[in-house]
Amino acid sequence: MDSLHTTELAYWKAEAERLAGDNARLEAENAALRVRVGELEGQIGALTEKVTTLAKLVFGTSSEKSKPVGSSVGKDITGGIGARRPRGQQSGSAGHGRRDYSALETIEEIHDVAEKERICPGCGAPYAAFGEETSYQIDSAGTHRTTPASPPYLPAHLQV
């Protein structure tokens, strides 16, 4: 039984020495990798600076100048001495809305699909008209408005 203990003891001593050697090797490898990471981070910093410099050379500075943060010129609408209202539509005021073209002469045009094109390509069923689509077009001189109307078609078997 004593010889069993000595062989077991020798085994565990050898295992401990092997693990100590592995540990020393891994610690050295870890230190070398930390040094390499530091070098690569330095290279990344240098390359980032270079990219920033080259981007400024290529694209230049911004042409849109920002206003100073503390500036109140044109912002004061209280009516104080030397105060100016901002230009353009004021907040809270009514807008203009759409112009009314109902007084113009109306010319109605019907745009229809040719009879031979009113067939479903899948089943060959004829199309049937449903509803109407209407839009308005004002000529550039503003003398009349055109109302092109086109009836939409749908295959008869798909209509509800």
Local structure of residue 115 (DSSP, 8 states): G
Full-model pTM: 0.33
Residue 114 in tokens = 């040719």
Model pLDDT for residues 5-49, shown as the tens digit of each residue? 889 999 999 999 999 999 999 999 999 999 999 999 999 999 999
Residue 75's pLDDT band, with cuts at 50, 70 and 90, is: very low
pLDDT value of position 74: 47
- Cα-Cα end-to-end distance for the chain: 96
Amino acid type, 9: L
